[in-house]
Each structure stands twice: as structure tokens, then as C-alpha cells.
């Protein structure tokens, strides 16, 4: 009887471990050189690219409203999440930058996109970002502990939710 009981236990352990799925977290951005024409997420159409506005125009439009749906914006990438490529920063006309997240984390970008000009497709809004979220992104960007600890107030900023990003000239 003991043999049957131990055999069943052994069988159940083997069976459960052989069909278990391991949650694998990707620990690096995707590989790639971000050449002109490469896109991430949905491909940004030529028609939409020709209608893309500058970052300056976007900032002007956001003074009149808090949110804009279905917009295409052309700008230069200044930073990329080194952990996964799950966010980027795009340079503004005043030398600062605005934050871009990928819609539903459905896609990521390689770090090679830093310094490249891109067209973003998606929605944008002015938003107040909490201290906790700012610290999270600072950790992702591998900021020093002192820089992270210096974040002590929420920040109003432009937040872009991209459904597609295409590298342009």
C-alpha cells in the first residue's frame, strides 16, 4: 500500500512539474539597430507620417485641451528604458522631454533608437505623475539613489501612449 501511495505522489510531482509554465520575464530590450523604416508596434502609415506634427505644435495644442486622441508626432528620442525598452523620452522644443509608454506594453523598442528621429502614433495628454511613479521610472533609467531620493513632488507633464513608433530620417 505504501508503494502505491509513494508512486502516486511521485507521479503527481513529475506530472505537475512537467506541465508547469514558468513565467519568464524579459530582462533586456529587443535587439535591433533602429534603421530608418523600422517600426515597433503598429506600422505608422505614410499618410499619417505626412500629417505628423512637431513637438512644438503638440505642446501648443495641449495648452487648449488636456487630451488628444489619434495623433502623429515627429520628434527625437532622448532616452530609452535600459531595462526592457518599455518607454522612451522625446525631446521638446525647450530642451526638456516628454514621456512615451507603449500601449498595453504590447511592444518594446531597442536602445539603439536613442538619438533617432521617430514618428509616434497614439494619444497624448497632460497628466500629473505621482512621486511613486516618477521614482519607478527613475529606477528603470538606472538613476542614482540620490537622484531617486530627490524626487519629492508630483510633476505635470506630457504623457504619450504609443500604438506605433516608426524610425524616420
Q: What is the pLDDT of residue 4?
A: 65
Q: Which residues lie closer than 8 Å to 77 by C-beta, 6 or more apart?
A: 88, 89, 90, 91, 113, 114, 115, 116, 117, 118
Residue 12 lies in a domain: no
Confidence of residue 36 (pLDDT cuts 50, 70, 90): very high
Q: How many domains does the chain have?
A: 1
Mean pLDDT for the chain overall: 88
> Would you tell me how many other CB atoms lie within 10 Å of the CB of residue 112?
19
Residue 126 lies in a domain: yes
Q: What is the pLDDT of residue 78?
A: 96
Residue 11 lies in a domain: no
Averaged pLDDT for residues 92-106: 90
Residue 105 lies in a domain: yes
Residue 1 lies in a domain: no
Confidence of residue 8 (pLDDT cuts 50, 70, 90): low
CA distance 55 to 72: 10
Residue 53 lies in a domain: yes
CA distance 115 to 105: 22
pLDDT tens readout for residues 41-93 = 999 989 999 999 999 999 999 989 999 999 999 999 999 999 899 999 999 88
Residue 97 lies in a domain: yes
CATH number, position 90: 2.40.50
Residue 14 lies in a domain: no
**Residue span of the structural domain in which 153 resides:** 28-168
Greater pLDDT, 96 or 75: 75
Amino acid at each position: 500500500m505504501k508503494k502505491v501511495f509513494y508512486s502516486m505522489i511521485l507521479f503527481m510531482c513529475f506530472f505537475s512539474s512537467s506541465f508547469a509554465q514558468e513565467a519568464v520575464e524579459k530582462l533586456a530590450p529587443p535587439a535591433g539597430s533602429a534603421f530608418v523604416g523600422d517600426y515597433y508596434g503598429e506600422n505608422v502609415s505614410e499618410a499619417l507620417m505626412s500629417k505628423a506634427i512637431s513637438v512644438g505644435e503638440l505642446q501648443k495644442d495641449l495648452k487648449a485641451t488636456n487630451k488628444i486622441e489619434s495623433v502623429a508626432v515627429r520628434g527625437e528620442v532622448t532616452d530609452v528604458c535600459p531595462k526592457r525598452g518599455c518607454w522612451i523620452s522625446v525631446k521638446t522644443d525647450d530642451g526638456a522631454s516628454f514621456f512615451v509608454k507603449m500601449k498595453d506594453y504590447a511592444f518594446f523598442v531597442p536602445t539603439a533608437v536613442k538619438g533617432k528621429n521617430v514618428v509616434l502614433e497614439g494619444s497624448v495628454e497632460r497628466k500629473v505623475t505621482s512621486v511613486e511613479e516618477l521614482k519607478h521610472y527613475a529606477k528603470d533609467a538606472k538613476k542614482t539613489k540620490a537622484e531617486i531620493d530627490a524626487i519629492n513632488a508630483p510633476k505635470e507633464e506630457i504623457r504619450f501612449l504609443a500604438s506605433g513608433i516608426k524610425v524616420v530620417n
